[in-house]
Amino acid sequence: MPQEIKLRPHHGLCIQFFEGKGYDEAFTLNMTQIIAQLETENNLINLTPDCDVLCAACPNNMGGVCTDNEKVASIDKRTLNTSGLDIFRKILWSEYKKLLKDEIIETGRLKEVCRNCCWSRICLVKGSEQLRSN
């Protein structure tokens, strides 16, 4: 039985645009490993409002709380609202990934969902590329 993994809702989007860069080396290595695990094991995701498996190696995680929690919580909320899921919902990684792709990336809603993220310009370009390649 694959391990259950806690994931902040918006991290399901960040994972889909990850290109091997992050806050620092430890964060990038951890994110690379978690993505490989998700893709290999198709884990059950537990959508959490708190720090998750990616936050575990993030320099912005101060004692289990994100230093930018107000902003990331707003992106989490819009991710859930747009995909029609509730917090603490458990869902297979493959289903969650597809849901976010169908409801947010391919509908062009990424711009609104990620509107206050400092990386949004990069992710929006990648999202548009995904749309064009379909």
- Cβ proximity of 56 and 67 under 8 Å: no
Helix, strand and coil percent figures for the chain, each rounded to 5: 55, 10, 35
54 belongs to the binding site for ligand SF4 (CB under 6 A): yes
Number of residues that bind ligand SF4 (CB under 6 A): 20
100 contributes a contact to ligand SF4 by CB under 6 A: no
Instruction: Return the number of the residue (5 or 123) whose C-beta is nearest ligand SF4.
Output: 123
- The structure tokens listed for 12 are 């399901």
Residue 37 class from Cβ within 10 Å (0-12 exposed, 13-18 middle, 19+ buried)? middle
Stretch that binds ligand SF4, among 6-14, 33-41, 80-88, 89-97 (CB under 6 A): 6-14
Is 104 an interacting residue with respect to ligand SF4 (CB under 6 A)? no
Between 36 and 65, whose beta carbon lies closer to ligand SF4? 65
- Work out whether 5 is an interface residue with ligand SF4 (CB under 6 A): no
* Sheet containing 5-7, strands listed edge to edge, beginning at the edge strand earlier in sequence: 5-7, 44-47, 90-92
We find the least distance from the C-beta atom of residue 71 to ligand SF4, in angstroms, to be: 9
Residue type, position 82, single letter: T
Q: Counting runs of H as helices and runs of E as strands, what totals does the chain give?
A: 6, 5
The residue ranges that bind ligand SF4 (CB under 6 A) are: 8, 10, 13-14, 17, 51, 54-55, 58, 60-61, 66, 68, 72, 75, 114, 117, 119-120, 123
